[in-house]
Amino acid sequence: MRNLVILAHPHLGSSVVHARLAEMLAETGDVSLHHADTLIFEGALDVDEERDACGHASRLVLQFPLYWFAPPASLKVWLDTVLDPAWALAEPKPLAGKTVQVVASYGSPRWGESAPALLLRPLIETAHLCGMHWAEPLLLDVGDAPLAVIGPFAERYRTLLEAPA
């Protein structure tokens, strides 16, 4: 498996953007999709299985909407649980050399262009501590016309997943 996608979205069923992206992921080869909210809130999070999946992936994709200037809480829980420092920072680092890719949506025009990148700083630092390569985030501004931009964005996402990590 080349791509492990950790999808964090508390209301995936009512999401126009992330539900469509999840459908696209199901049609894309070499992708394993793990819905963090389902794993965590239904008590199905198996840390060993998640770590094994991380070990078999060359790219870890973190997909989420930015809510209130942060990723959903489920992503933080997944990161804190699966990437526990005793495991993630042990030598040799199990994630060293892998690529981490953020795919996120946001919609507040008040944020300005630099805000989404600033909000990702904790994820950037986590990736670097784990010895991972940080890829340029794929960000979708859905503030104006989400339906008009979702198709082209989904194709960019698919192309990214099909490229070498």
**In the chain, what are the domain boundaries?**
3-146+154-162
Model confidence pLDDT, tens digit, residues 71-103 = 999 999 999 999 999 999 999 999 999 999 999
Q: Look at residue 141 in the predicted model and tell me its pLDDT.
A: 83
Q: Look at residue 159 in the predicted model and tell me its pLDDT.
A: 95
What are the strands, taking DSSP E only, across the chain?
A: 3-7, 31-35, 59-65, 99-106, 133-134, 138-141
Tens-level pLDDT at each residue, the chain (165 residues): 699 999 999 999 889 899 999 999 999 989 999 999 999 998 999 999 999 999 999 999 999 998 888 899 999 999 999 999 999 999 999 999 999 999 999 876 665 666 667 889 999 999 999 999 999 999 998 876 667 888 999 999 999 999 988
Q: Look at residue 165 in the predicted model and tell me its pLDDT.
A: 82
Q: Look at residue 145 in the predicted model and tell me its pLDDT.
A: 65
- CATH dotted code for 3-146+154-162: 3.40.50.360
Q: Look at residue 142 in the predicted model and tell me its pLDDT.
A: 81
Q: How far is CA 3 from the centre of its chain?
A: 11
Q: How far is CA 154 from the centre of its chain?
A: 14
